Amino acid sequence: MGSAPDHVTQPERLTLSIPSHPRYLRVVRDFLTSLLAELGFSHQDRMGMVLAVNEAYANVIEHCYQGDVTQRVDLAVVIEPAVITIEMRDYGVQPDPACIEPRDLQDVRPRGLGTHFMRSIMDDITYDLSSGTGTVLRMSKRRSLPCTSP
Amino acid sequence: MHVTIETTQHSITILHLHGDVDMKEVTSFRQVLQTAIRDAGQGVVVELKRVPFMDSSGIAVLIEGLKWSRERSIPFILTHLTPSVQMVMELAHLEGFFTIAENLDDALALITQRC
């Protein structure tokens, strides 16, 4: 896991507003890969978090917007010394809670792996449905802080 | 992403995948894989060494590929897993579900030994 860069003392918030089109999946992955490298996250952590966000974005396109590629997804990355939080806001159909629970992997079938990946990779995931329209998904990953000698 | 296909002298179909396999690419990948398995002779090998990223939609197509191959009773082997593909395999607990060979020669040997 990455160590906090020296300059991160206050939360920093980076935002990106993207159409709900699969062609932008790679753009989001590239953006996050660069950002997480800049923040000092390991290659393994970068791969995991990029996969988790890719899955969340794909779920929004497929389920919340039901394949409508003309809608909007707002992505925010909040950088704090001890944690990085990725927020994904959509304005589509709110998910059925049963569909966002991870499924039993003993049952090998093509569907439903994305949610499992997200929960396996990130430390904390919440779905905020309180706005009444769409969902705010928040995914957090704790950062390792530099060790201090006694 | 694009796929190049070759057939060996032992009628084994090899699919070489190039590029990211994500939601944008899976519809065409699924079609290519389904056709390749339908037309394959002794078996199918999917070479993944030029796949820098694969998500759950790509894994879903590989699961379907294995099922289609089983229906035809032909082997379906993955080879040259990149770190990204290895990670999604491990997260999905699928390492034991697929036959995975380290390289193309090993994959072809597994199939020809079986024939």
* A58-100 pLDDT tens trace: 999 999 999 999 999 999 999 999 999 999 999 999 987 666 6
Residue A134 lies in a domain: yes
ipTM exceeding the 0.85 mark: yes
Cβ of B86 under 8 Å from any chain A Cβ? no
Q: What is the mean pLDDT of chain A?
A: 88
Number of domains in chain B: 1
Q: What is the mean pLDDT of chain B?
A: 96
Rounded to whole angstroms, the Cα distance separating B56 from B67 reads 17
What is the domain-level CATH number for residue A27?
A: 3.30.565.10
Task: Tell me the residue range of the domain where B101 lies.
Answer: 2-114
* B64-108 pLDDT tens trace: 999 999 999 999 999 999 999 999 999 999 989 999 999 999 999
Taking residues A122-137, what's their average pLDDT?
Answer: 94
Q: What is the pLDDT of residue A96?
A: 77
Taking residues A23-37, what's their average pLDDT?
Answer: 97
What is the domain-level CATH number for residue B69?
A: 3.30.750.24
* Chain A residues inside the 8 Å CB shell of B56: 55, 58, 113-114, 117
Let me know: does B25 contact B19? Beta carbons within 8 Å. yes
Q: How far is A26 from chain B (nearest CA, A)?
A: 8
Among A22, A62, A113, beta carbon nearest to B92: A113
Number of domains in chain A: 1
Question: For A35, phi and psi rounded to 5 degrees?
Answer: -65, -45
Q: What is the pLDDT of residue A9?
A: 72
Residue A114 has pLDDT above 60, yes or no: yes
Residue A3 lies in a domain: no
Residue A95 lies in a domain: yes
Chain B residue with minimum CA distance to A58: B23
Cβ of A120 under 8 Å from any chain B Cβ? yes
Cβ of A45 under 8 Å from any chain B Cβ? no
Residues 6 or more apart from B64 whose CB is under 8 A from it?
A110, B30, B33, B34
Q: What is the pLDDT of residue A147?
A: 47
pLDDT band at residue A41, thresholds of 50, 70 and 90? very high
Rounded to whole angstroms, the Cα distance separating A10 from A96 reads 36
Taking residues A132-137, what's their average pLDDT?
Answer: 94
**Residue pointed to by tokens 């906090």:** A4
Cβ of B24 under 8 Å from any chain A Cβ? yes
Taking residues B45-67, what's their average pLDDT?
Answer: 97
Residues 6 or more apart from B16 whose CB is under 8 A from it?
B3, B4, B5, B6, B47, B50
Q: What is the pLDDT of residue A33?
A: 97
Among B23, B92, B93, beta carbon nearest to A58: B23
Residue A22 lies in a domain: yes
Residue A105 lies in a domain: yes
Task: Tell me the residue range of the domain where A114 lies.
Answer: 12-142
Residue A1 has pLDDT above 70, yes or no: no
Taking residues A15-20, what's their average pLDDT?
Answer: 97
